[in-house]
Amino acid sequence: MDDAQLFPPQQPITSRKDLGAALRHHKTQYERKNGKRNSVSALVKRVAVSRSSLYAYFNGGTLPDAVTLDRLLVALEVSDEERRRLGTARDVLAEAMLGRCAIEGGGADEDTVVPLRPFQLPGVSTHFFGRDQELAMLAEMVEGKSARDGATTIVVVSGMPGVGKTSLVLSFAHQVADRFPDGVLYVDLQGYSPDRPKRPSEALKLFLAALRDDDTDLPQDEEGRVALYRSLVADRRMLIVLDNANAPDQVRPLLPNSAKSVVLVTSRSNLPALIGNGAIRLPLARLPHRQAVCLLGRVITAERVERERASADELVRVCAYLPLALLIVAQRVLLDPQVSLAHVVTELAGAKDRLHLLATPDDDRFMNVGAVFSWSYRALTESQARMFRLLALHTGADVSVDAAAALCGRTTSEARRALEVLASVNLLEPRGGDRYAFHDLLREYAAERAHEHPVEEGREAVRRVLEWYCHTARAASRILLPYLRPVDIEPSEWGCPPPRFTRADEALQWCEAERANLVAAVRQAVEREEYDIGWRLPAALSGFFNLRKPWEEWIECCGLGLESARGRGERTGETWSLTNLGLAYWGLGELDKALECHNKSLAVCREIGDRWGEGIVLSCLGDIHRDLARLDSAIECYGQARDIFLEIQERWGAGLALHNLGHAYTSREQYGAAIDCYLQTLSLSDELGDDPWGKAQTLHYLADAYRLSGSLDDAVETYRKALVIRREIGDARGEAITLDNLGIAQDNAGLHQQARHSWELSVEKFAELRDTRATDAVRARLR
């Protein structure tokens, strides 16, 4: 009795074995219908899986992922209704398996740390088509090599620009992602971007943030990051995609040391050094003629291709069988149905201005995608063409609609419409969230077009967008740290208003989204000698830098700011830059550098009579002296800062100085003086209002002083007041710290059960924050 009799289509599917039997049934039916036997070899190529995986699906040993199952059912010519039935059954089985894993894992020890499972893959283009042979080869390479020599599997997909390397790898990665239970990492290394290629240390920072859900407290040197990264991925089965690499040295630090993981690299280069060290190369050629014609038909409809088949055949040849070129042409034809394919062929074949970087060494005129770019550019309206070329002057990795509007001096709605048109003809890539990006070759082409126009047009565009970034960063900082003195910025003459922030989370979200672009903007300002923006933009970012503490960007931007201020002779800019540099170095523990910066800033403040700046710098110097155990110097600095702020009636600054003075007195065990300082700080805080975080901090340290002085009842009461505020504002780390110290005070007061409860809550909070060191320290008190 065969599978067709054993497993009729209506049979319920309640297990992998049932699904496997159903697949065997349809395979048998397919072979009977088509007169074929032993069809596995053909299915391996069509479904793009290995022979062993296919047998596992048919035997019910492995549950295929949803995409692979659908490809298999299409290959077996299964009806749409049956495909939906089996797809639904497969999803139910997958959910059931996940549920069992969750139940079985429920009894794990409370100390067990569940590692993060990152999934960083971008989406796959809806127009990706074909490449069945290459997908099957990738599957064979990945599964075959990993079982062969025990080393990390590395596959380098190489080929000419525009050939579809990234699309192929992303499509394959999505198909096999569920075979990597520990996650998928992805980074665009920007190896051939006109901007600076991404350094390995920058890519490692992104990976470590995904693996730890946090990018703070990272090693500052590349060697330390490599060691941490390899420790985190050791013995994990992960898929790692390194897109657009330009050299082996850019890739090597990102390679894991786990034989279970797979690395996919895309590059225009063959990266022979990696191949020589055991990587497998998959060269990606132009699309075969039939696939190129099918891709064209997928966009403009198969009916139209068949109606103009001779012209379609010629058109794919003119486009050099490059997917990128074909999609651009197809989108243009789709937008103008009156244009014949023959006309398009004639226009492209006769074009002279071709992008030289895509020319082959033998000068084959069909191997130059520049003609396609220029044809698309000429089809734009003047307004759209202006947007296209000016976008090349924006140095960030992507651009928001608002930034594009500032760049071009247009309204937001006008900019959005232009960007949507550019994306629709594949001259821009939408990235979601009102953001767009260039393909690197298109950026180069757009830059060439920008250089053909008056220099003044480009200079004004860059100035507009830099001013817009400066004003928006200042608006964000005023929401994030409202008591910080805002940097003075002249109103923009271009009429490009920044977005209005009403909540701190909005401001923070904008800063995070634009973080890389803001750093690029500071660099561009210095390169173009726009020195007033070169120091004001980092100063405007003070609120974000102080909250998020992105040490590398903070130091780089403020270093460039200092260079700009000195280049323009701006003494005020010099103090802003030096003070911010000092704060960053202090946060990193580089106290000598911090001390040098603040001493220089203090001298300039006194020279120009900046009393507010002088008070801030003195408070910062007090922090450094306190860390160096120079408590007399710290108290002197804090006292001077307090007096200055009281003199200029700056209550927030006076509160800050008094708060810090309390720290210094606590360190000297002068608890009465410390308590007096904290109480004065709270009085000023109540007058100002709207600073719950600062008030909670002061209450916590006041409670510390009470506890250390032996006033345990006051300490417990004050810790509880701090705890209420920290819970209200969602300060999880502050809540965990206060709970720990509350437990100590309760334990000292003989309230042992209450103390134990506080420590248990503290452990729970630190565990949620994945702070292993703090969790272990508090847990030790429970023993």
User: What is the Cα–Cα distance from 505 to 750, expressed in whole angstroms?
Assistant: 42
Q: Write the DSSP string, 480-504.
A: HSTTSPPPP-PPPTT--PPPPP-SH
* Average pLDDT, integer, range 323-334: 79
Structure confidence at residue 548 (pLDDT): 78
Q: Tell how far CA 93 is from the center of its chain.
A: 33
User: What is the Cα–Cα distance from 198 to 211, expressed in whole angstroms?
Assistant: 19
pLDDT higher than threshold 90 for residue 733: no
Q: Write the DSSP string, 595-612.
A: HHHHHHHHHHHHHHT-HH
**591-603 per-position pLDDT tens digit:** 999 999 999 999 9
- DSSP 8-class letter at 252: G
- Between residues 356 and 51, the one the model is more confident about: 51
User: What is the Cα–Cα distance from 647 to 179, expressed in whole angstroms?
Assistant: 67
* Count of residues in the chain: 783
Structure confidence at residue 97 (pLDDT): 61
Instruction: Give the residue among 268, 274, 336, 249 at the shortest CA–CA distance from 300.
Output: 336
Confidence band, pLDDT 50/70/90 cuts, at residue 385 = very high
Beta strand pairing status for 399-400 and 435-437? antiparallel
Structure confidence at residue 372 (pLDDT): 44
Instruction: Give the residue among 643, 682, 678 at the shortest CA–CA distance from 660.
Output: 678
Q: Which of 242-246, 626-630, 687-691, 696-700 has the lowest mean pLDDT?
A: 687-691
Structure confidence at residue 508 (pLDDT): 87
User: What is the Cα–Cα distance from 260 to 234, expressed in whole angstroms?
Assistant: 9
Q: Label residues 526-556 b or e (16+ Cβ within 10 Å = b).
A: bebebbbbbbbbbbbbbbbbbebbbbebbbb
Structure confidence at residue 213 (pLDDT): 61
pLDDT higher than threshold 60 for residue 362: no
pLDDT higher than threshold 70 for residue 520: yes
User: What is the Cα–Cα distance from 237 to 255, expressed in whole angstroms?
Assistant: 13
Q: Which two tokens stand for residue 389?
A: 């070329």
Structure confidence at residue 214 (pLDDT): 61
| β partners of residue 243 | 188
C-alpha distances out from residue 718 to 679, 712, 741, 749, Å: 11, 10, 11, 14
- DSSP 8-class letter at 128: -
Query: Which DSSP helix (H) or strand (E) runs through 388?
Result: helix 382-391
Structure confidence at residue 216 (pLDDT): 62
**182-231 per-position pLDDT tens digit:** 889 999 998 866 567 899 999 999 998 888 766 666 778 888 888 888 88
Helix (H, G, I), strand (E, B) or coil at 677: helix
Structure confidence at residue 566 (pLDDT): 94
pLDDT higher than threshold 50 for residue 61: yes
Confidence band, pLDDT 50/70/90 cuts, at residue 354 = very low
Instruction: Give the Cβ contact number of residue 378 at 10 Å.
Output: 11
Whether the full predicted model's pTM is greater than 0.85, yes or no, is no
- Judge contact between 57 and 48, C-beta under 8 A: no
Structure confidence at residue 350 (pLDDT): 64
Q: What is the mean pLDDT of the chain?
A: 84
**635-676 per-position pLDDT tens digit:** 999 999 999 999 999 998 999 999 999 999 999 999 999 999
User: What is the Cα–Cα distance from 51 to 53, expressed in whole angstroms?
Assistant: 5
* Average pLDDT, integer, range 250-270: 89
Torsion, CA 478, CA 482, CA 484, CA 486, rounded to 10? 30
Confidence band, pLDDT 50/70/90 cuts, at residue 51 = low
- The percentage of the chain sitting over the pLDDT mark of 70, rounded to a whole number, equals 87
pLDDT higher than threshold 50 for residue 116: yes
Instruction: Give the residue among 325, 306, 304, 303 at the shortest CA–CA distance from 316.
Output: 325
Structure confidence at residue 128 (pLDDT): 77
Confidence band, pLDDT 50/70/90 cuts, at residue 319 = confident
- Between residues 421 and 755, the one the model is more confident about: 755
- φ and ψ at residue 386, rounded to 5 degrees: -65, -45
Q: Which of 370-374, 523-527, 665-669, 779-783 has the lowest mean pLDDT?
A: 370-374
Instruction: Give the Cβ contact number of residue 413 at 10 Å.
Output: 10
